[in-house]
Amino acid sequence: MNALSLLHQTDAVGTGVALILLLMSVGSWVVILWKAWLLIRAKTDVARCTRSFWQAASMDDALLSLRHFDREALVLPLVVATQTQTAGTLAAAGDRSQQLTRALRDALHAVLLKLQAGQVLLATVGSTAPFVGLLGTVWGIYHALIGISGAGQISIDKIAGPVGEALIMTAAGLTVAIPAVLGYNLMGRYIGRIEADLEGFARDLRELLLTHASHGQAPDVHATAGAHAATV
């Protein structure tokens, strides 16, 4: 007996449970495939962008290279946030260290929200799909027993078939939940690694800008080299 014949035999509740599981499965697989593509690009972009940033001769050159390499806009917002002028506002009331900390924190939170998109869906599907399938099984067994009792004569053969068919809902719930849980865990590990790279870059960028701010200079290789030569 196939799934279509099973749906024909069930009522509206059983059909609704099956449709919910189908939507959960489609939604979780869409998120898994999309996030796998996104995180692979993000991991490559973050490594390439941070490397090109530190190899740039000036901040303008660094911004130009980031606009070329940062396809998912993960590193560029951090740098742009440090260049935003907030004169005349409360954000500019503190010292430069506080301003940079606030700007980088806000930009980093926005970037991490982009990376974590879809994780809630995977967690929800992974935790609820088995119970949705169990609801379909319980309702299917109840529906089958009501039908058997109306038939008058009860035997193992008449019980085993409908009950076994109802148990398919439990298997369907597990089939939907397992890929979602695996996807959530694997994506979470990749997001954690990218987050650590971004936090390290933000910390190093803050220290760089604070060092040059204390000397009243913009980050520039040539200016740094000239200052070093004058000191020598």
Per domain, the residue ranges of the chain are 3-81+94-215
Q: Decide if pLDDT at 115 tops 80.
A: yes
Average per-residue pLDDT in the chain?
80
CA 68 – CA 80 distance, rounded (Å): 14
Element (H, E) at 200: helix 168-214
Three-class SS of residue 94? coil
Alpha carbon separation from 104 to 53, 58, 93, 101, 133 (Å, rounded):
16, 19, 17, 5, 44
Q: What is the pLDDT of residues 159-202, one digit of tens each?
A: 666 677 778 888 899 999 999 999 999 999 999 999 999 999 99
22 contacts: CB under 8 Å, gap ≥ 6: none
Asked if 143 contacts 11 with a C-beta cutoff of 8 angstroms, the reply is yes
217 contacts: CB under 8 Å, gap ≥ 6: 223, 224, 227
Buried b (16+ CB within 10 A) or exposed e, 10-46: beeebeebbebbeebbebbeebbeebeebbeebbebb
> Could you count the other beta carbons within 10 Å of the beta carbon of residue 121?
19
Q: What is the pLDDT of residues 72-111, one digit of tens each?
A: 888 888 888 887 766 666 666 667 788 888 888 989 999 9
Q: How much of the chain exceeds pLDDT 90, in percent? A: 30
Q: What is the pLDDT of residues 20-66, one digit of tens each?
A: 999 999 999 999 999 999 999 999 989 998 898 888 888 888 888 88
Asked if 136 contacts 169 with a C-beta cutoff of 8 angstroms, the reply is yes
